[in-house]
C-alpha cells in the first residue's frame, strides 16, 4: 500500500507520520527532508497564486471596479497644473470642478465655461464603457483650450479632498455617471458605483469644504419612467422608473434633497432629454445608427405595442450647454461650511429638453438623407430592456428660471453631428467603436 493512502483528505491537517515508513537511518532522513521541501514548495506556490489571483485584475472588464484605480496624482507640479486650470480669468467668474469632463456633455460644458473666462478643472476616470480614444481626443481638445483633466474616480475621496484643498471651487458641474438605459441590465454594479456611491462620495467632500461649492448635476428624463401624462413636468410623479439607470438617477435626486436639508448644499438637478451632437456617445442610437448605415449593417428600430411609434425629445448639445450654464449662473451659494449648515439652501430640478418628440423612424430617415445611404431597417418590438416608449419635456420652468430656450431642431442638429462624424472618423482613419 503506498504511503499516499495515509494522506488525509484535508492536506492542511497533514502531519508526516514516520512510522508509516519502513526505512531507518540516513536514507529515511534524506527522504523526509525531500518530502518537507516538496511540501513547503507547494505551500509557497499556493500562497503566490492566491496573492495574484485575489489582487484586482488589471484587465477586469467591469468598469465599476477598474475605475477605482486612479493614476498617480499630487505633488507641486501637479498642484500647479490644477491651480492654473481652475484660475478665474473674468470678473465675477466661477471656479468650476467638472466631473466627467472627458464625457460628451462634460467636454462641451468645460469648453464653454473656459471660453467665457471661468476657471475649469476636469476630473474623469476614462473608463472604457465606450471607446476611450474618443475620450482622449476630447481631452486633447480641452487641453488646447487650457483645461486640465485629472484622471481619477469620484469614489476616490482622498483625491477629491486634495482637489478642494488646492482650489476653493465656487461650483461643481457633476456630469460623471454611468449613462445608458440598456447597459444597466449587463452591468448593474457600475450604476451603483458611479451614480449612487460616486455621487455620495462627491457630496461628502463638498459638504466639508469651506466654502461649500454650489452643485449642478446631471439627472435624467428617464426618471419619468412609465408616466403617460405628456409633456413631462418637474412636479409629475417619478416613482415608476423603467430601468436601473433611471432608478439611480431618481435616487440621486433624493440624495440631493438629503444633503441640501442636512448640510445646506445648494443643489440643482438637470433632467437631460436624449442629448445628441458632435463628440457624442457611441452607445447612443443616433451615433451607432450612423455607423451601421454607413457600414450597410441593419439597424434595430424599436416600436411599441400595436406598432406604436417610439419617440424621443432629442435635444441638441448646444442647447443643453446653455441650460447647464444658466443653472450655474442662477445657482445660489451653499449656506454651510465645514459640514455645518448655516441656513436653508437652494434645491432645484429642471427639464432640459426640446419640447418636440420625434419618432425614431424619422431620425433614421433624416440620417439616410444626410448620409445619402439607404438604411437596412429591422423594425422590432421594444424589448423589455429598460427603454420607455416616449419622452416629451415641458420646459416652461427652465425657460422662466434659467432663460433656457432650445433653438436647434433634429434635422439641423443631426446635420452638424454627421459633419463631425465623417470628419472625425475619416481624418485619422479611426474605426468607429459603438457599443
Ligand X SMILES: O=C(O)[C@H]1O[C@H](OP(=O)(O)OP(=O)(O)OC[C@H]2O[C@@H](n3ccc(=O)[nH]c3=O)[C@H](O)[C@@H]2O)[C@H](O)[C@@H](O)[C@H]1O
Residue with cell string 448635476: 217
The binding track of 273-312 with respect to ligand X, each residue x by CB under 6 A or -, is xx---------xxx-------------xxx-------x-x
Least Å distance, CB 92 to ligand X, is 32
How far, in Å, are 244, 261, 386, 393, 404 from residue 234 at the CA level? 20, 19, 21, 9, 15
- Is 251 a binder of ligand X (CB under 6 A)? no
CB of 302 within 8 A of CB of 378? no
Residue whose C-alpha is closest to residue 100's, from 65, 167, 147, 62: 147
Minimum distance of ligand X from residue 314's CB (angstroms): 8
What b/e sequence results for 327-355 when a residue is b if at least 16 CB atoms lie within 10 Å of its CB, and e otherwise?
Answer: bbebbeebbbbeeebeeebbbbbbbbbbb
Looking up cell 427652465, which residue turns up?
398
The residue among 256 and 360 lying less far from ligand X, judged by its C-beta, is 360
Query: Among residues 98 and 363, whose Cβ is nearest to ligand X?
Result: 363
Is residue 331 involved in binding ligand X (CB under 6 A)?
Answer: no
String of contacts with ligand X for each residue 215-234, x by CB under 6 A: -----xxx------------
CB of 284 to ligand X, least distance (A): 3
Q: Which is nearer to ligand X, 150 or 364 (CB)?
A: 364
Size of the site for ligand X (CB under 6 A): 20
The least CB distance from residue 201 to ligand X, in Å, is: 21
CA distance 135 to 124: 9
DSSP state of 220: E
The smaller minimum CB distance to ligand X, of residues 180 and 241, is found at 180
d(CA 21, CA 208): 70
Q: How far is the CB of 173 from ligand X (least distance, A)?
A: 16
d(CA 380, CA 125): 35
**HSE (side-chain half, CA atoms, 13 Å) at 280:** 33
Considering only 124-132, 203-211, 214-222, 231-239, which stretch makes contact with ligand X by CB under 6 A?
Answer: 214-222
127/220 with CB nearer ligand X: 220
Pairwise CA distance, residues 222 & 391, whole Å: 8
Considering the complex, what minimum distance in angstroms separates the CB of residue 224 from ligand X? 9
Which residue, 272 or 350, is less far from ligand X as judged by CB?
272
Q: Does 360 bind ligand X (CB under 6 A)?
A: yes
Q: In whole angstroms, give the CA distance from residue 365 to residue 46.
A: 61
Please identify, using beta-carbon distances, which residue of 94 and 232 lies nearer to ligand X: 232
**Which residues are annotated as catalytic?**
245
Closest contact distance (angstroms) between CB of 235 and ligand X is: 18
- Judge residue 49's burial from the number of C-beta atoms within 10 Å of its C-beta, 0-12 exposed, 13-18 middle, 19 or more buried: exposed
**Residues in region 166-185 near ligand X by CB under 6 A:** 179-181
SS (H, E, C) 336-365: CECCECCCCCCEEEEEECCCCCEEHHHHHH
- List interacting residues with ligand X (CB under 6 A): 179-181, 220-222, 272-274, 284-286, 300-302, 310, 312, 360, 387, 391
Amino acid at each position: 500500500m503506498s504511503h499516499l493512502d495515509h494522506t488525509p483528505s484535508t492536506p492542511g491537517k497533514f502531519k508526516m507520520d514516520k512510522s508509516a515508513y519502513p526505512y531507518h537511518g540516513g536514507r529515511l532522513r534524506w527522504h523526509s527532508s525531500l518530502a518537507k521541501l516538496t511540501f513547503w514548495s507547494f505551500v509557497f506556490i499556493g500562497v503566490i497564486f492566491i496573492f495574484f489571483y485575489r489582487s484586482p485584475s488589471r484587465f477586469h472588464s467591469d468598469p465599476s471596479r477598474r475605475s477605482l484605480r486612479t493614476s498617480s496624482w499630487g505633488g507641486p507640479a501637479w498642484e500647479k497644473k490644477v491651480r492654473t486650470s481652475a484660475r478665474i480669468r473674468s470678473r465675477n467668474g466661477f471656479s468650476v470642478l467638472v466631473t466627467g469632463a472627458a464625457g460628451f456633455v462634460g467636454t462641451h460644458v468645460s469648453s464653454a465655461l473656459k471660453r467665457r473666462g471661468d476657471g475649469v478643472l476636469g476630473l474623469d476616470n476614462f473608463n472604457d464603457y465606450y471607446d476611450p480614444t474618443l475620450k482622449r481626443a476630447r481631452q486633447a481638445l480641452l487641453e488646447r483650450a487650457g483645461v486640465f483633466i485629472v484622471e481619477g474616480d469620484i469614489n476616490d475621496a482622498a483625491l477629491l479632498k486634495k482637489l478642494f484643498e488646492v482650489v476653493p471651487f465656487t461650483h461643481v458641474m457633476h456630469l460623471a455617471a454611468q449613462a445608458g438605459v440598456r447597459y444597466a441590465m449587463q452591468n448593474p454594479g457600475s450604476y451603483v458605483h458611479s451614480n449612487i456611491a460616486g455621487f455620495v462620495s462627491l457630496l461628502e467632500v463638498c459638504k466639508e469644504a469651506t466654502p461649500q461649492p454650489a452643485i449642478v448635476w446631471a439627472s435624467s428624463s428617464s426618471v419619468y419612467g412609465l408616466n403617460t401624462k405628456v409633456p413631462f413636468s418637474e412636479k409629475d410623479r417619478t416613482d415608476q422608473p423603467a430601468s436601473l439607470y433611471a432608478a439611480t438617477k431618481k435616487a440621486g435626486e433624493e440624495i440631493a434633497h438629503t444633503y441640501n436639508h442636512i448640510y445646506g448644499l445648494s443643489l440643482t438637478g438637470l433632467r437631460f432629454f436624449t442629448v445628441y451632437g458632435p463628440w457624442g456617445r457611441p452607445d447612443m442610437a443616433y451615433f451607432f445608427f450612423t455607423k451601421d448605415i454607413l457600414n450597410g449593417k441593419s439597424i434595430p428600430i424599436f416600436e411599441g405595442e400595436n406598432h406604436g411609434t417610439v419617440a424621443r425629445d432629442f435635444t441638441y448639445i448646444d442647447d443643453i450647454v446653455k441650460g447647464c450654464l444658466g443653472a450655474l449662473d442662477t445657482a445660489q451659494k451653499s449656506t454651510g461650511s465645514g459640514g455645518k449648515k448655516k441656513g436653508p439652501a437652494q434645491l432645484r430640478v429642471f427639464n432640459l429638453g426640446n419640447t418636440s418628440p420625434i419618432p425614431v423612424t424619422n431620425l433614421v430617415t433624416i440620417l439616410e438623407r444626410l448620409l445619402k445611404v439607404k438604411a437596412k431597417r429591422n423594425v422590432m418590438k421594444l424589448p423589455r430592456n429598460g427603454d420607455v416608449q416616449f419622452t416629451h419635456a415641458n420646459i416652461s420652468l427652465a425657460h422662466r428660471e434659467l432663460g433656457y430656450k432650445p433653438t436647434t431642431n433634429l434635422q439641423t442638429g443631426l446635420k452638424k453631428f454627421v459633419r463631425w462624424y465623417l470628419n472625425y472618423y475619416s481624418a485619422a482613419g479611426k474605426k468607429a467603436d459603438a457599443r
